[in-house]
């Protein structure tokens, strides 16, 4: 019997254009959590393509997001997610009972070069690491 989507936590990352912050967050979560978490990203006004400086910054850490495309935020995407994370951009997700909503205050990489994107990328990795520790059941019993 295949595993149902309800058996693992699902996370939706949202920013306006779904071309920078939310793409990096989704890529980090997919890379670090593997199949333990279902990952989505979307934007309220999606761009035509992912920010090239963001693609380059992620490539520097061995993660290729060049094939990703910005997606439009839908009520269904929110409804199907356990945790909805906005990226400090004022976007508002449709509110459904039982969902957890977080807002990560992050600089917008739009129009920035790769040098400016690197610290945003690294901050997102830290936030994603903390999120994984919080939402995945596989925690080590002891820290030795």
Query: Domains in the chain: how many in total?
Result: 1
Q: What is the pLDDT of residue 5?
A: 46
Residue 105 domain boundaries? 7-135
7-28 per-position pLDDT tens digit: 799 999 999 899 999 999 999 9
37-82 per-position pLDDT tens digit: 999 999 988 999 999 999 999 999 999 999 999 999 999 999 999 9
Is position 1 within any domain?
Answer: no
CATH number of the domain to which 12 belongs: 3.40.50.2300
Q: What's the burial of 12, exposed, middle or buried (CB within 10 Å: 0-12/13-18/19+)?
A: buried
Is position 131 within any domain?
Answer: yes
Q: What is the pLDDT of residue 92?
A: 64
Pairing, β 38-42 against β 10-14 = parallel
Is position 113 within any domain?
Answer: yes
Global pTM reads 0.88
Residues involved in catalysis = 15, 89, 93
**Mean pLDDT computed over 99-109:** 92
């Amino acid at each position: 019997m295949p595993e149902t989507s309800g058996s693992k936590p699902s996370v939706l990352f949202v920013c306006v254009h779904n071309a920078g912050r939310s793409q990096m967050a989704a890529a980090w979560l997919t890379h670090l959590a593997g199949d333990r978490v279902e990952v989505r990203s979307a934007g309220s006004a999606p761009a035509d393509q992912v920010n090239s400086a963001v693609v380059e910054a992620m490539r520097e850490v061995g993660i290729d997001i060049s094939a990703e495309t910005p997606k439009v935020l839908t009520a269904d995407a929110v409804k199907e997610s356990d945790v909805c994370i906005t990226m400090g951009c004022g976007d508002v997700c449709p509110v459904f009972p039982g969902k957890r909503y977080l807002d990560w205050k992050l600089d917008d990489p739009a129009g920035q070069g790769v040098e400016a994107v690197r610290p945003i990328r690294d901050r997102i990795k830290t936030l994603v690491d903390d999120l994984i520790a919080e939402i995945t059941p596989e925690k080590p019993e002891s820290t030795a």
